[in-house]
Amino acid sequence: MTGIEFNERDFEYDVYTLVKAFYPREELRIFYEGEAEKEAEKKLCQTLLQVLYQEGKASLFIYQAGQCSVSDAIALDCVDRKTAKNRLKQMVYRNLAKLTGRELPWGDLTGIRPTKIAMGLIESGMSNAEAADFMRKNYYTSNEKTALAITIANRERALLAPVDYENGYSLYIGIPFCPSICLYCSFSSYPLERWKDRVDEYLDALFMELDFISETMKNRRLDTIYIGGGTPTTLTPEQTERLLTHIERRFPLEQVKEFTIEAGRPDSITREKLETVHRYPVTRISVNPQTMNQRTLDLIGRKHSVEDIREAFALARATGFDNINMDLIVGLPGETKDDVSCTLKEVEKLAPDSLTVHSLAVKRAARLNMFKEQYQEMTFENNQEIMDMVQECARNMGMGPYYLYRQKNMTGNLENVGYARVDKAGIYNILIMEERQTIIAAGAGASTKLVFDRGRRIERVENVKDVTHYITRIDEMIERKRMGIATYLQEGEFR
Ligand code: SF4
């Protein structure tokens, strides 16, 4: 067990996530000075970090087996909170890197949007070389990750250049049902089998929310629409038709630059559904295998075969979709480098237009976390070599990286990267990750993100996750939105 002791409640989360990145598999506990009842527990820590704030400085002591092996300090007086946080993280990083003999690919960056930093530096007038130098010196990012962040920031800037994102908005619509629940899932998702009799009621509530959004946002331009979930293609062809007709009636689709539907699970895709979707101006769909290894598909609870993935993809192409994304996850339980290589070969044969590669992140609410004892023997392998293989595969398919984000508890402490062919990148993905545009979200568990003052302030309006609550409390969901959006529109007028 590793512990961190603070004498004040300040920057604990930042230090915690950084220490966790160095010791991903260890239990990590936080203590506060003066907690006499936790003294015994503290003594059980093989490594104990002590962060002490006093007289305008922060000191760091690291004890191993009771012996102090590190002692360091930095000045924090006369600096703003952001600078104080950065200095503290630098000190912790430098000392842990020395102590463990390990550097982390993303250095001391623990937030989820490293490209936002790169983009900010470039927009402040720095050249690519200056921005890279700044990142390496201030955040200790590796050469490879710095180059990746700068490349993506430039690509994002080019992709967003024709979009007047500050004056428009994007719409997210959540369909929270899935054919079965995956082992690692932490989204708002409910098994269709149990909920199928209530899907129409859900759509009725959703339409009320969409009507409110279309009326309230009618003077703003709608740039992108994303229907996600869950798995939107769990809807029957009739329900899909109902949903798309409703959207078409209420929103000005002729001005929308991108309209994505996640066709996610191959076991939810049929010819009829794809044909229904294709009759509407949907520009991009996603068929998500996650892995092309049957053993893993079975283990993670996806009740379909590898052949189903191939068939669903071929069907989507035959229906006429010319922008198909595929999602993969690396670091799945029991998967080795060879398994990932096998998946990549299969994906290359299918030749999607974009590829989104996630590093497995085990969140608290996932079954994989809740029943972790069951999976103790399994390896969760992800490393730079595997990420390089993925990059190589994307390059072979003519794709370049265009968006990137990180999550907490990712295997290998790496990143999620979206690759796309020219003109096939998902603009919505960039807008949401870089927090450049307001995203109004409808549906159970959907989270509206209101972007104020060019991204300097973000406010969220959350819907309840539970489907029954969403249906029965739809008026309340709309009221919450009404209040949030009113402030947003009002501030916009005085910009
Ligand atoms: S398909 Fe996605 S949303 Fe559905 S259960 Fe699996 S991880 Fe969750």
CA distance 177 to 470: 14
Pocket flag, ligand 1, residue 265 (CB < 6 Å): yes
Task: Say whether 77 sits in a helix, a strand or coil.
Answer: coil
For ligand 1, whether the C-beta of 484 sits within 6 Å is no
Q: Give the Å distance between the CA of 365 and the centre of ligand 1.
A: 13
Query: 181: Cβ below 6 Å to ligand 1?
Result: yes
- Selection from 245, 248, 238 nearest residue 200 by Cα: 238
Distance (Å) from CA 181 to ligand 1 centroid: 6
**What fold, for 168-488?**
pyruvate-formate lyase- activating enzyme (3.80.30)
Is 172 within 8 Å of 229 (Cβ atoms)?
no
pLDDT score, position 370: 60
Selection from 238, 263, 275, 286 nearest residue 179 by Cα: 263
Structure tokens at 447: 């989270």
252 CA to centre of ligand 1 in angstroms: 30
Q: What is the CATH number of domain 2-100?
A: 3.40.50
| Atom 6, ligand 1: residue with shortest CA distance | 182
Distance, CA of 264 to CA of 231 (rounded, Å): 6
The Å distance, Cα 115 to ligand 1 centre, comes to: 26
CA–CA separation, 135 and 156 (whole Å): 18
**Cis amide bond preceding 230, omega within 30:** yes
Does residue 428 contact residue 173 with C-beta atoms inside 8 Å?
A: no
State whether the beta carbon of 189 lies less than 6 angstroms from ligand 1.
Answer: yes
Q: Tell me how far the alpha carbon of residue 341 lies from the centroid of ligand 1, in angstroms.
A: 23
CA of 282 to the centre of ligand 1 (A): 22
Q: Rounded to whole angstroms, how far apart are CA atoms 306 and 293?
A: 7
SS3 81: helix
CA gap 434, 430 in Å, rounded: 6
Q: Please state, as a whole number, how many other Cβ atoms lie within 10 Å of the Cβ of residue 42.
A: 15
Decide whether any atom of ligand 1 lies within 6 Å of the 185 Cβ.
yes
Rounded Cα distance, 72 and 404, in Å: 34
CA angle 281, 202, 205 (to 5 degrees): 85
Residue ID of nearest Cα to ligand 1 atom 2:
230
Q: Which long-range contacts (CB under 8 A, 24 or more apart) does 447-456 make?
A: 448/481, 448/484, 448/485, 450/484, 450/485, 450/487, 450/488, 452/488, 452/491, 453/491, 454/166
Query: How far apart are the C-alpha atoms of 304 and 265, rounded to whole Å?
Result: 9
Give the ligand 1 atom nearest the CA of 265: 1
**8 Å CB contact between 360 and 305:** no
Packing angle, helices 237-250 and 271-278, rounded to 10: 10
- Residue position matching structure tokens 């993925």: 390
Q: Whose CA is nearest to atom 3 of ligand 1?
A: 230
Where in the chain is CATH 3.40.50? 2-100
One digit per residue, pLDDT tens: the chain, 495 residues? 999 999 999 999 999 999 999 988 788 999 999 898 898 898 899 999 999 999 899 999 999 988 998 999 999 988 899 999 999 999 999 999 999 999 999 999 988 789 999 999 999 999 999 999 999 999 999 999 999 999 999 999 999 998 888 889 999 999 999 999 988 888 878 999 999 999 999 999 999 999 999 999 999 999 999 999 999 999 999 999 999 999 999 999 999 999 999 998 999 999 999 999 999 999 999 999 999 999 999 998 898 999 999 999 999 999 999 999 999 999 888 899 999 999 999 999 999 999 999 988 766 656 666 656 666 666 667 788 889 999 999 999 999 999 999 887 666 678 899 999 999 999 999 999 888 899 999 999 999 999 998 888 999 999 999 999 999 999 999 999 999 999 999 887 555
Q: Supply the Cα-derived Rg of the chain in whole angstroms.
A: 24
- Per the DSSP assignment, residues forming a β-bridge with 49 are 4, 62
Domain with CATH 3.80.30.20 in the chain: 168-488
In sequence order, the β-bridge partners of residue 172 are 226, 441
**Ligand 1 center–CA 265 separation, angstroms:** 8
Alpha carbon 59 to chain centroid distance? 34
Ligand 1 atom nearest to CA at 301: 6
| Ligand 1 atom at minimum distance from 181 CA | 5
Question: Nearest Cα to 210, choosing from 158, 258, 246, 176?
Answer: 246
Ligand 1 centroid, distance to 268 Cα (angstroms): 12
Task: Kindly state the DSSP code that residue 293 receives in the 8-state scheme.
Answer: -
Residue 92 CA to residue 87 CA, distance in Å, equals 9
Measured from the Cα of 229, ligand 1's closest atom is 3
Ligand 1 pocket test target in 175, 177, 180, 181 with most atoms within 8 Å of CB: 181
How far, in Å, is the centroid of ligand 1 from the Cα of 187?
7
Say if ligand 1 is within 6 A of residue 355 CB. Answer: no
To test the ligand 1 pocket, which listed residue (177, 180, 189, 297) has its Cβ within 8 A of the most ligand atoms?
A: 189
292: which 2 tokens? 């092309």
178 CA from centroid of ligand 1 (Å): 6
Q: Please identify, by atom number, the ligand 1 atom nearest to the C-alpha of residue 264.
A: 1
